[in-house]
Structure 1
Amino acid sequence: MKSSITIYLAGDSTVQTYGTSEEPQAGWGQYLDRYVDEAVSISNHAIGGRSSKTFITEGRLEAISSEMNETDYLLIQMGHNDSTKNKPERYTDPYTDYKQYVRQYIEQARRRKATPILITPVGRLHYVRKEFLADFGDYCNAMKEVAEEEKVELIDLMAKSIAYYSSIGYEKTAELFMISMNGTDCTHFTEKGAYMIAQLVAKEMKQLDDGISTYVTV
């Protein structure tokens, strides 16, 4: 018989759960429960505007750590806000302090005997000359380096999301983003977009070898 587990999410506005007053904007974390069985609870701590650094300095990682136990998982998607050099309070250099902060998430999970899983930043609607472009390249690479160095499972959500956008084309991809509602936002998802990204994440979880695949129903 499978044990009850909690999947904790640490991330930014593309992951967070939004209230009804903010519809149709949504984050993929609020739909992940659609793709796991009844033994799993999703605890979404993701919040907009946070980088790998400020999520920690505000005590949000510690709040997760205080609840985790050995049957749990911590999914970490950070990078969007780390890249904002004009906001030094949250900016991190990809190959130095970003990697150091990402390691802190791994260390906290392992200290609680939980399982960390790294997730590269999700792709934005960045379309140039009929091609979807992958942003945050250095942060994606740095996260992959940490995953290899620390022997942690990684979901390359940037690669998977860009491949998905390319498969359905620009018009259908635009419907996944809030630009389809307000004409400007190429970063945040509509409910439809968040639902599809959650499905991508779940499909990748299904391929992992750390036990979490047992709970995925996609």
Structure 2
Amino acid sequence: MKKIQVYLAGDSTVQTYEKDESPQAGWGQYIDQYCKRNIIFHNHAIGGRSTKTFVEESRLDAILEEISANDYLLIQMGHNDSSINRPERYTEPSTTYKQYLRLYIDGARKKHAIPILITPVGRLHVVHGKFINDFPNYCQAMKEVAEEKNVPLIDLNYISLNYFTSIGYEAAEKLFMISVDGEDCTHYTEAGAEKVAEMVAKELMEMISEEENF
């Protein structure tokens, strides 16, 4: 069976954590459990990075040096791009954020690889009983780039917030580190990361199946 290589560019919600950092986890460390065995994942995601700093630190270059024709590049960025109080990583959604996303897309396509955009996964944020998208401008900007560049998009923000709504706040809270440290409404426990990995895998498998004719 043909091996399919998938590269992940993302932040702390995607990255692979060491055992001593448990129970914090990222969805990138579990996604292989929900995909076919011939799909090999290379998780380059790392905490605290935005589209901008990931590029500036040559992390995108490292992926592009490895990636080959017909491989996939999954790009989930936005959490740290929105840090307006951190100018070193902030990007403005309608301008610089889009410009950096295009670098990932164009870089992958130059190597004849297949880019897939992923909107930033949802946080545990409820107002008047409703789960809130904390990154609406970034989600919209990413969708506009996806349409402009004809790139597949997984709307993980929408999918994850819908899931949290379906299970309710108390159950959703257990998926986040706030259930451990009483504070963190952004990062996931192992259970949460596994669930998000399942969400991404479902969408990814449908896209790969269309491309590869499984």
Q: TM-score, normalised to structure 2's length?
A: 0.97
Residue aligned with 1:76, SS: strand
Cα deviation 1:86-129 (Å, max 9, x = unaligned): 11010000000100000000011101111000000000000111
Partner residue of 2:73?
74
Partner residue of 1:89?
88
Q: Matches of 1:56 and 1:69 in 2, distance apart?
A: 19
What CA RMSD, in Å, does the superposition of the two structures yield over aligned residues?
Answer: 1.2
Partner residue of 1:158?
157
Partner residue of 1:118?
117
Tell me the CA shift for residue 206 of structure 1. 3.0
Residue aligned with 1:206, SS: helix
In structure 2, the CA distance between the partners of 1:212 and 1:173, relative to structure 1 (3 Å rule), is farther
Q: Which runs of 4+ in 1 moved over 3 A?
A: none
Verify the 8 A CA contact 1:53 1:90 in the aligned structure 2.
Answer: yes
Tell me the CA shift for residue 178 of structure 1. 0.2
Partner residue of 2:168?
169
Residue aligned with 1:186, SS: coil
In percent, how many aligned pairs have the same letter?
Answer: 59
In structure 2, the CA distance between the partners of 1:213 and 1:161, relative to structure 1 (3 Å rule), is farther
Is residue 2:13 matched to residue 1:14? yes
Partner residue of 2:186?
187
Residue aligned with 2:75, SS: strand
In structure 2, the CA distance between the partners of 1:212 and 1:146, relative to structure 1 (3 Å rule), is farther
Partner residue of 2:132?
133
Q: Matches of 1:98 and 1:71 in 2, distance apart?
A: 26
Tell me the CA shift for residue 9 of structure 1. 0.3
Verify the 8 A CA contact 1:207 1:213 in the aligned structure 2.
Answer: no
Verify the 8 A CA contact 2:35 2:205 in the aligned structure 1.
Answer: no
The one-letter amino acid of 1:109's match is: A
Q: TM-score, normalised to structure 1's length?
A: 0.95
Cα deviation 1:15-34 (Å, max 9, x = unaligned): 00000010000000000110
Alignment of 1:55-70 (within 5 A): 55-70=54-69
Q: Structure 2, unaligned stretches of length 5 or more? A: none
